[in-house]
Structure 1
Amino acid sequence: MGLHIVKTLYDMYPGQVTVTPFFNNLIGNAWISEGIKNGMTVEEMKDHWEAELEEFKKVRKDYLLY
């Protein structure tokens, strides 16, 4: 929901809302802020991280104890 809010504010108030490096720290990476700036939709961003998440789940599987 937070990403939807940031994206909506960024789109509604161009030049008034900035995505700072602190946002990158909160969200955990820089590609989302670049996506916001470049006009990606939240759905496109979600699709991108879903692919990364599936890859992480494959790697993680070998390390799960239970």
Structure 2
Amino acid sequence: MKELEKKVNRIRPQRLVVLALTQEGVEKEMGIDELIETNSEFIRVLQGNDLSDVDALLRYEVPDCVIE
């Protein structure tokens, strides 16, 4: 059971961590939720592979974009 749990954890999507510019002008590593909540400016993705975070980032950065 422990081995199965380890395998699941390895393939589970990892939340995105991005580098962003805060309203105060400071570059900071943060998650997508914090990026949106603080109205920070996206610079680049540092790590992660969660596609739901990618969708949220696209909706934040390009509000008129249609995601199907």
| TM-score calculated relative to the size of structure 2 | 0.28
Q: Whose RCO is larger (CA < 8 A, sep 6+)?
A: 2
Structure 1 or 2: more strand by fraction: 2
